[in-house]
Structure 1
Amino acid sequence: MERDDQSHGEIVVEDEIRSLHPHNLIYNIPFQRTLEGSPPRKVRREDDSRKATVETSDGMRMEVNSFELSRNSHFFRAFFYGPMSKISGSGVYKLSTVNSRMLRYCIDFLSKLDSIRPENTDLVTAVLVLETAAYLCLIRLEKKLCELICSLVDPLNIISIYAKIEDSSPRLAKELWEKIVADFDKLIDNWTFLQLSEKEMMRLIKDENLDIQAKNEHRSVIEWCKTRGDEEKKELIDMTQSMQSLSNEFSQDGYIVYKKRYPRSVLISLGGWSSEGVSNAIEVFSTRTNSWKSAKQETAMTALSYHGLIQRKEGLYLVGGFNGHTYFNTNHFFDFEKKEWKVLCPMRYNRSYMSAVGLPQEEGAFVAMGGYTGTERLATVEMYDVEKGVWRNLPSMNKARSDGSATYVNDNIVAVGGFDGTSIHNNVEMFDFQRHKWDIVSSPMHSMRTGVCALALSRSVFGVFGGFNSQRRLKSVEFFDAREGIWHQMNEMMTTRSNFTVELFDSKIVAAGGYDGGRTTAAVEWYDMRMNKWTPLPEMIIAKSALKMTRVDDLDIIKTFSHPY
């Protein structure tokens, strides 16, 4: 079936597009290196050899730099210098398939290719130029436009953009389709999914990577069918009825689902201290099931609590920790590619009640700091070189910190709170890599906090959550903006917590587990920063403190840990 022509959100191309200026089409286009190889040998190096007059499909004639166009396109190499070159007796090359306006746009984009950024590019313009760039084999320009369009699309326009480029740019169409599959819940919320054709709806429902809440799966089909005639929805109805009869699946909330699916983003909690002792439990939470599930048995980890957790592209690192008897210096690694745990080079110090923080992926390192050896509270810091597989010392912190926390903001490591064996800290210190030095932040937190959690909320802002102030467990939250150097209070959590874990998930802050002052808790809640409100989430399967949690967005890795639901 054809796409609904009346659907809203379609692109309307304006007569003139402000972001392109035809006066840039001067003959001497700046020289650019190209991926297309050397210039044609027939082209002489004299300036006049680069001039060519092209007559476009609308009868307009324009002077272009044939040398530069040929360097960037096999099409133009054949057009200007090939045996089939269509040059008239007057020395004019006839380009009968492209109009002058589109050729101007392509040349202008090509001339400023390296300086084009999403913030100074109009989405409609990029889509308009892409089809012509693809036809003219301007490969570098086509690739750049695809990157720009991918970064500029949003749930309101992605389907209409996909419709425009589906045939002209298969590579971009594939990327946009993956976004449609990943963001389908958002397309349901804004009703743009009604723009999809019947074949696209069928393709979506069958896609095993479709990330959709159970309540929306059957609803999306019903609502789409309401807008179509009998012939326009027959195949979709037949397919979904067949899938339903074969699967007989219902979500735990009673919603009809057509097949078991993997979520595209999950929270994974690892280890901790439960009522039965140190745990090796790995639990997985997704909004699709709105519940915690035990991870696949083959991903089972060693029992650990009070450990550090770092996620990098290559896998998960669990460093240090405590098993009830031993304080570890170990470095356990779950390899995302091989889908297995292995033991890497140990730290120089035994560290329990420690902090660990990952550096940017390109730095190829992460840092472990503070903690407790069983006899001593530590101020020492060491960094693991992922490529070389070795640890090296960094300067020690100004304060010994066990049961503190750490994060990374403004290109600095931030160490928060903790206990030095005598005092609970209300201070924070930052490590400056340029100066190779730790500095105490002049403005202290409003509360002393040990068993605290810290989390980067943006490049310059981090929050601190809960903890213990020597008298009671806390539910207070405050955040620090490094640009202004001031602490701000946030709404309190619903549950008092120390030795718990926090993570960003679905644009919200999730707090899970910990010790609430009377018992180890399984309670989970999340904070909506726009609503300034904490809301309860389903409890974990096992009540745990001293656990760690991370968000995983890689579907292949999610399939490794999780069952489809």
Structure 2
Amino acid sequence: MEENVDVKFDEIIGESFIDIKENGNFSDVIIETENGVEYKAHKAVLATISPIFKAIFQENKPNHQGSQVMRIIFKSVPSSIMEIFINYAYNYQLEIDFYNVEVLLCYADEYHVFGVLKLCCDYLIDNLHTHNALGIHSLVKKYNLPCTEELIRKYVLSRFVEIAIGSQEFLQLNEDDLCKFLSDDALNIKSEEKTFDLLIKWIKVSPKQRRKCISRLIKCIRLGLLSFDYCANTLSHNEYYIEAMNSDLSKNYLLDAQSYVKESENQMLNDVGFNFSYARPRIPHEIIFAMGGWSTGNTTNFMETYDSRSDRWFICTSNPTTSRPAYHGMVFLNGFIYVIGGYDGTDYFSTVQSFDPETEEWKLVAPMHKPRCYVSVACYNGRIYAIGGYNGVQRMASGEKYNPINNQWTMLPKDMHRQRSDACAATIKNKIFMVGGFNGEEITNTAEYLDTDLEQWIEIRPMLSPRTGVRCVSHNNILYVVGGFNGTNRLNSGEYYNLEKGDWVEIPNMLCPRSNFMLIQMEGFLYAIGGFNGNTTISLVESYDCENKEWITCCNMNIRRSALGACVAYGLSNSKYYTFHGQIGIGDLNKDTNEVELD
């Protein structure tokens, strides 16, 4: 017999099963469906896909004495479905489409054909979109599919506003389902004003019938988190709100929420008030992680997270133990936070650490080819780019990229046109922009981008101001550049680059000048975090509303720091842990300054 025959065992068995099915060899059961269609099959094979089939075969006997063939009649099963089940039993293959998935799911659930159930669930998950998510959620609720239902529920909660605006299914939601979604802490919605607007949109589809639900549904909205102006100018004049105020079912709730809004006007909300249902913040789906930097004269490994829904910073207990970096890079990619390079006052790092927010585990990954502090980092196409920086000897023009799949760094084939340390990088489409920085002799206003397809650096028009210690981010294909040091002053100015026109345009000034801070884009806001204001490191945080073009003050960090790293993490299964809901009370917060002094 010839050795090393490259044939898989399961392929041989599969082909044999198909052969005996098609030829009817050794068949011992005849399956008859509601319209009289008959299928020859094998009990042992069908029993493997369904415990109900197995029980039926065990309870019944062959039709004639001496015959080994059993006849089973399934009066309620269409022949098309039974044929699919039988074929699946022999080859474990199944074609599912939009037209048959619902009926397959129904009969697979009834007869416990668990393999087909799983394939149906996989199909629904793979084809989940904002226009069909609510319908699919309603479908799987009919069956005992808790894992699939939970995945779809999370999808709906994470994209609820998009679904409510663009899907007709939202308008057809029943009262109970709408109540569950609106009252869920994990509802991903930036403002309760929007939640109220969506509720009114739903009611207006059938106002005569649905206005009866207002007293129940309005209590799903965190009315205590509405702005005072919205309550005074919009909410109080709404006919459905007035109707709810006159209802014994909701009047007390609305009065309490109303009082809370008045008391919190012009002052930071009290954390104790967050415990009331009308003022409890939602769980954000995006969380800012800030780590490392200079604080009180030393580098620190201190990490904290920002919950935008409660406007609070919370201390993390899982700080890295191997280093205390400053002037490092920090990115979030594929569920992991990467801390790249940096400087601790003595050593310049080529090391790279990764942090898993779900397991709270730190580990070292492959180091860069070169030590880099003042490094600029960005992500594109599943790769991390580390560009420029200072290695302790010279400012660099080189760059390298990291592939997390094979845990390997590769040098970029071309250097930038200029050496840059303390610059900043941001990605727009397939371009990685580098702006500003220091070349060892002068602070520059130049900018260029890496075309990742051509692997070439291309210069663009210089910025309006020279900037080092500068920060930039991209939003809606616009490159925003803010702050920094021009050689004389720390800057509060900002500008953006218009890719179509190829020019720079000023934006409103920040409230506080700063360099060596972090700038993070999250949900249409640019968050300026910490930094150095020319006199001291700061804990101040402010955000820029890209739509309304204004800066507003946010909650301070727990410690003053500059040269920090920060990034946005999203899609975490344990995001609650890093927010108000999981972290309130952790850390010895100074109630007046909201700062923690480090030793």
Q: TM-score, normalised by structure 2?
A: 0.60
Partner of residue 378 from structure 2, selected from 341, 357, 369? 357
Partner of residue 467 from structure 2, selected from 441, 449, 473? 449
Letter in 1 for 2:399: V
C-alpha distance in structure 2 between counterparts of 1:394 and 1:551, whole Å: 26
Letter in 2 for 1:321: G
Q: Name 2:337's counterpart in structure 1.
A: 316
Partner of residue 150 from structure 1, selected from 112, 121, 128? 128
Matched-pair contact (CA < 8 Å) for 2:515–2:532 = yes
Q: Name 1:439's counterpart in structure 2.
A: 457
Letter in 2 for 1:278: T
C-alpha distance in structure 1 between counterparts of 2:117 and 2:142, whole Å: 16
Alpha-carbon spacing, 1:333–1:197, altered in 2? closer, same or farther (3 Å): closer
Letter in 2 for 1:223: K
Alpha-carbon spacing, 1:214–1:368, altered in 2? closer, same or farther (3 Å): closer
Matched-pair contact (CA < 8 Å) for 1:185–1:213 = no
Secondary structure of 1:254's match?
A: helix
Partner of residue 223 from structure 1, selected from 209, 219, 222? 219
Q: Name 1:429's counterpart in structure 2.
A: 448
Matched-pair contact (CA < 8 Å) for 1:296–1:560 = no
Matched-pair contact (CA < 8 Å) for 2:372–2:388 = yes
Matched-pair contact (CA < 8 Å) for 1:263–1:555 = no
**After alignment, is 171-180 or 250-259 more displaced?**
250-259
Alpha-carbon spacing, 1:187–1:492, altered in 2? closer, same or farther (3 Å): same
1:368 aligns with 2:344: no
Alpha-carbon spacing, 1:37–1:167, altered in 2? closer, same or farther (3 Å): farther
Please list every run of 5 or more consecutive structure 1 residues that lacks an aligned counterpart in the other structure: 1-33, 46-53, 63-69, 85-92, 104-111, 234-249
Matched-pair contact (CA < 8 Å) for 2:520–2:566 = yes
Measured after TM superposition, the shift of residue 300 of structure 1 is 6.3
C-alpha distance after superposition, 1:220-268 (max 9, x if no partner): 88726999xx9x99xxxxxxxxxxxxxxxx9616243479997543211
Matched-pair contact (CA < 8 Å) for 1:301–1:341 = no
1:177 aligns with 2:153: yes
Measured after TM superposition, the shift of residue 461 of structure 1 is 4.7
1:552 aligns with 2:569: yes
Alpha-carbon spacing, 1:211–1:418, altered in 2? closer, same or farther (3 Å): same
Q: What is the number of equivalent residue pairs in this alignment?
A: 470
Matched-pair contact (CA < 8 Å) for 1:214–1:256 = no
Which structure 2 residues correspond to residues 141-540 of structure 1 after superposition, within 5 A?
142-143=120-121, 145-147=123-125, 150-153=128-131, 158=134, 162-168=137-143, 170=145, 171-179=147-155, 194-196=175-177, 223=219, 252=271, 254-257=273-276, 264-296=285-317, 302-313=323-334, 315-336=336-357, 339-361=360-382, 365-395=383-413, 396-435=415-454, 437-457=455-475, 461-472=478-489, 473-481=491-499, 484=500, 486-487=502-503, 489=505, 491-495=507-511, 496-540=513-557
Measured after TM superposition, the shift of residue 180 of structure 1 is 5.3
Q: TM-score, normalised by structure 1?
A: 0.63
Alpha-carbon spacing, 1:255–1:338, altered in 2? closer, same or farther (3 Å): closer
Secondary structure of 1:177's match?
A: helix
Fraction of identical pairs, as percent: 23
- Give the alignment's Cα RMSD to 1 decimal: 5.5
Measured after TM superposition, the shift of residue 401 of structure 1 is 0.3
Secondary structure of 1:330's match?
A: strand
Secondary structure of 2:567's match?
A: strand
C-alpha distance in structure 2 between counterparts of 1:301 and 1:261, whole Å: 34
Measured after TM superposition, the shift of residue 529 of structure 1 is 3.5
Measured after TM superposition, the shift of residue 505 of structure 1 is 2.2
Matched-pair contact (CA < 8 Å) for 2:305–2:314 = yes
Matched-pair contact (CA < 8 Å) for 1:339–1:560 = no
Secondary structure of 1:425's match?
A: coil
Alpha-carbon spacing, 1:221–1:348, altered in 2? closer, same or farther (3 Å): same
Secondary structure of 2:574's match?
A: helix
Please list every run of 5 or more consecutive structure 2 residues that lacks an aligned counterpart in the other structure: 1-10, 24-31, 38-44, 61-71, 83-93, 196-214, 222-242, 251-268, 585-599
Secondary structure of 2:508's match?
A: coil
Alpha-carbon spacing, 1:301–1:288, altered in 2? closer, same or farther (3 Å): farther
Task: Say which one has the larger Rg.
Answer: 2
